[in-house]
A and B are shown apart, each in its own frame.
Chain A
Amino acid sequence: MALLHLSGLMKSYASPDEPARTLVVDVPSFELHAGQQLALHGPSGSGKTTLLNLVAGILRADAGEIWLAGHNLTAVGESRRDRLRSELIGYIFQTFNLLQGYTALENVELAMRFGRGHDAAFAKHLLERVGLASRMNHRPRQLSAGQQQRVAVARALANHPRLILADEPTGNLDPAHAAAAIDLIRQVCREQGAALLLVSHDPTVLARFEEVVHLGAINRAAA
């Protein structure tokens, strides 16, 4: 009963130094179930971000299939992928990627407007849940790195996603805050019923997961 199913997924890039394209992702098969929380571990350059971008529909695969909640992302056009991403996936980036001119609340609400629709009460609830009740109207520059990360978590959950993708989500936090951030992400994913696929090379982060898989085990290009 897989929420996410990858089969024969391949992605390569043209390299300026080599005549042949560089294969970055080569995943014969991979599954993630609803509510499952899995950490993928691999060094820099092992294709972690590319794999998440493929799952999110931000990148288009060279070959293979990506099935998410019954939808074949590799068979639909870009606009449809954008819509599915906004409705089924929440994405937490290493650099948070908050919009600087917008308040914490506006960052969460904007994600809703491009997704399932604006719900101010739920946006406030999410920010309260991540401990930012008194910081809703602050802009990213007025928040600490840890607070910005929590806004990013709230924003990722804005559209009741089925899957949260987290790309080195604690890369900009110190170890103490990193552990707390991972615990928060895992907890709110459980509360919202979203599965979590996290990639990291940080042992502190990986230690907080029951399920950790080396990327090389699923991605032959990284093996």
Chain B
Amino acid sequence: MSQETGNQAAGAPASAGPAEVGYARVRGRSFSTLGAVLLLVRKSLRQHAFSTAITIGSVALAAGLVMAVFAIQEQSEAAFTGGPVGFDAVLGARGSQLQLVLNTVFHLETSPGNIPWTLYQEIRRRPYVKLAIPYALGDNYLGHRIVGTTTELFTDFEYQQGRRFEVAPPGRVFDPERMEAVIGSVVADRTGLRLGSVFNPYHGLEYDRQMRHEEEYVVVGVLRPTNSPSDRVIWIPIEGVYRMSGHVLRGTGADYVPSAAREIPDEHKEVSAVMLKFRGPDAGMRLDLEVNRQGRIATLAWPIGAVMADLFDKIGWVNRVLQLVALLVVLVSGGTILAGVYNTISERRREFAILRALGARRRHVFAAIVCESAAIGLIGSVLGYVVYAAILALAAVVVRAQTGVVLDWTEVHWILWATPVGMTMVGALAGVIPAVKAYATDVASNLTPST
């Protein structure tokens, strides 16, 4: 028997009627009480609209920042370590594997040097090499790299499984014996070069207006966007790089200046790198052993994703610091919620007393305050999606322009659902202290309005 029913024991004065306390109504009353708590939350948020809006705004900024930090880190790491590279390995001059990958795959950094054309020819004949495409670098146009290569890049190479570079009609791939160029989509957007445009390359990988070559190239094709670093590149025949005025070939160790009328002997030719695609999984290991452990003239960067992952491992502490800062921002926003709600409690003491006088239990008042704080966290973090989208859209423009890597604000990340859940919990926790204060409100002394 419950305490309540026990209180109607024998000895009680006879009442005017049966006790009608609604035990049978408990379930319906629970829903009704929940509705009351939600009504209290909604009303309070509206009554304190200004301070609530300020708090929600700060939570939205914090949530957007957290989502952006985690999403940008994950997307950029994924793009650099496992993005649409298309090659298994890069063969280049003796030196840093990371520099080789950054230079040839992401078109960043300087070239570590050249390797002889003959080495390229020898490697491409290996039975386990499916595809070997030479790159020759050294020039730019308004800061966009010019890469000399072969037409195999457009006919045989797949930058993603089943996807090849595609020249937008009515363009075409360059003729290897003409001074023609195929440009990436970002190049077209940023330089204004179009089909039929004529341009002069500039010497070096950085744009310097004093370093203009005399040769004129005509744009014969614009590639459809690939959302890869290749979009930032101008592709010309590799022969064109060799014959660019001022270029000197040192394939034999001695300087060789090509002349217009004569074919260039293979032994004088050089390449900046050879991009490799293997036939089997053990090919990389065999070539790695041969080139990196036993050889002395070249470096094999293999596998490309692992080289970049190694970089991210080394700079991982930077990411962790950024994540820590983002989490501190979340804590600060939790403090903002606490302060915002706490400051309203004193002026609402009479409201709580009235609610209690109407029959609200202390736990209802406590729940209303915790729910209100949680609602601020939830609403703020939902609005944080706008902040997140804005930050990512802005970052995407910068990152794509600088690296060719594409950040997608619509991509689904775990952080996009974890943040609202986390912020709601932080909000609820922040509401505990003000809720305790509201819980302790004395009814009798607060029912009379203070003057």
Residues of A within 8 A of B (CB): 1-3, 5, 31, 33-35, 53, 56, 58-59, 67-72, 75-80, 82-88, 91, 93, 95, 97-102, 106, 110-118, 155, 159, 162
Contact = CB atoms under 8 A, between A and B. Distances in A.
A108 to B, nearest CB: 10
24 contacts: A34-B15, A71-B19, A76-B3, A78-B362, A79-B362, A80-B3, A82-B356, A82-B362, A83-B21, A87-B359, A88-B21, A97-B357, A99-B351, A100-B47, A102-B43, A110-B36, A111-B359, A113-B36, A114-B355, A114-B359, A116-B29, A117-B28, A118-B35, A162-B16
Most chain B beta carbons < 10 A, residue from A1, A93, A99? A99
A95 B448 CA distance: 7
B444 A113 contact: no
Contacts of B43: 99, 101-102, 106
Contacts of A101: 43-44, 46-47
Contacts of A72: 7-8, 12
A76 B15 contact: no
Contacts of B13: 2, 5, 31, 67
B354 interface: yes
Most chain A beta carbons < 10 A, residue from B4, B43, B357? B357
A97 B32 contact: no
B25 A116 contact: yes
B28 A99 contact: no
A187 B353 CA distance: 28
Interface in B11-68: 12-22, 25, 28-29, 32-33, 35-36, 39, 43-44, 46-47
A194 to B, nearest CB: 11
A70 B357 contact: no
Contacts of A162: 16-17, 20
A2 B36 contact: no
A62 to B, nearest CB: 14
Interface in B355-369: 355-364
Given A69-B16, A87-B359, A117 B443 contact: no
Nearest to A163: B16
Nearest to A90: B358
B36 A114 contact: yes
B4 A114 contact: no
B447 interface: yes
B449 interface: yes
B354 A113 contact: no
A117 B360 contact: no
A88 B4 CA distance: 14
A3 B16 CA distance: 5
Interface of A is mostly: mixed
A84 B3 CA distance: 13
Contact of B447 (A2, A68, A97): A97
A197 to B, nearest CB: 14
Contacts, number: 137
Contact of B21 (A59, A71, A95, A155): A71
Nearest to A79: B361
Contact of A93 (B16, B351, B447): B447
B39 A117 contact: no
Closest 10 CB pairs of A and B: A86-B359, A34-B16, A113-B36, A114-B359, A5-B13, A70-B19, A70-B15, A101-B47, A3-B16, A117-B32
Contacts of B22: 87, 116-117
Contacts of B362: 78-79, 82
B14 A1 contact: yes
Contacts of B29: 116-117
Contacts of B359: 82-83, 85-87, 111, 114-115, 159
Contact of B358 (A75, A78, A86): A86
Interface in B53-96: none
A76 B33 contact: no
A67 B444 contact: no
B443 A58 contact: yes
A173 B33 CA distance: 33
A195 B246 CA distance: 109
Contacts of A2: 13-16
Given A70-B18, A82-B361, 17 more contacts: A3-B15, A3-B16, A58-B444, A71-B7, A77-B3, A79-B362, A79-B363, A83-B359, A83-B361, A87-B21, A91-B357, A95-B449, A99-B355, A101-B46, A113-B32, A116-B29, A117-B22
Given A58-B357, A69-B17, A117-B28, A76 B36 contact: no
A112 to B, nearest CB: 7
Nearest to A68: B15
B443 A80 contact: no
B21 A53 contact: no
Nearest to A112: B32
A115 B448 CA distance: 22
B357 A56 contact: yes
Contacts of B16: 1-3, 33-35, 69, 162
